[in-house]
């Protein structure tokens, strides 16, 4: 289902783009953000004008739900377009487990970045990766052209 959703987003974006120009696609993922914590969701107490502008002027999905109760597994679902339990990624590597050379998004799984690069996009990831802390899982090796962020569950 998620692969269909991701393919639909890419296809719709490309179909609506100016000739010979791919539209920008920006996906935002915020860990531990409650549904009603943004201005665009009706919260009058916490100003979020830039996010509100993105919600008003972009494509907004209000019925999307994560497929796991913690960050690493839900990121794996988003990055692959698949339920992470179908490829054995039900855990949340923290602390020393981030250094385990076998803990990470399985390399046989294609990411949304792989798909976008094949469609002619230049891709980048800014922020938290948390899908493997060793070199073979680095975002640059998973379809991203640029990466600026941190590999583990948090930064110090």
* b/e sequence 9-44, b meaning 16+ C-beta within 10 Å: ebeebeeeeeeeeeeebeeeeeeeeeeeebbebeee
Q: Which of 40, 130, 152, 155 is catalytic?
A: 130
Per-residue pLDDT tens over the stretch 41-78: 999 998 999 999 999 998 888 887 778 888 899 999 99
pLDDT at 3 over 80: no
Catalytic-residue membership of 71:
yes
Catalytic-residue membership of 40:
no
Mean pLDDT on 118-140: 94
Instruction: Look up residue 150 and give its DSSP letter.
Output: E
């Amino acid at each position: 289902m998620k692969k269909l959703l991701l393919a639909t987003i890419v296809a719709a974006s490309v179909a609506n783009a100016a000739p010979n120009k791919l539209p920008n696609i920006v996906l935002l993922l915020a860990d531990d953000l409650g549904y009603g914590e943004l201005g665009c969701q009706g919260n009058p107490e916490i100003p979020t004008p830039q996010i509100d502008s993105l919600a008003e002027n972009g494509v907004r999905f209000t019925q999307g739900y994560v497929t796991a109760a913690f960050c690493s597994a839900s990121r794996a679902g988003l990055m692959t377009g698949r339920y992470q339990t179908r490829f054995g990624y039900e855990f949340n590597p923290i602390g020393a487990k981030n250094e385990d050379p076998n803990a990470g998004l399985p390399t046989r799984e294609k990411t949304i970045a792989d798909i976008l690069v094949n469609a002619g996009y230049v891709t980048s990831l800014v922020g938290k990766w948390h899908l493997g802390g060793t070199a073979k899982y680095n975002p640059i090796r998973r379809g991203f052209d640029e990466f600026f962020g941190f590999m583990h569950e948090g930064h110090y």
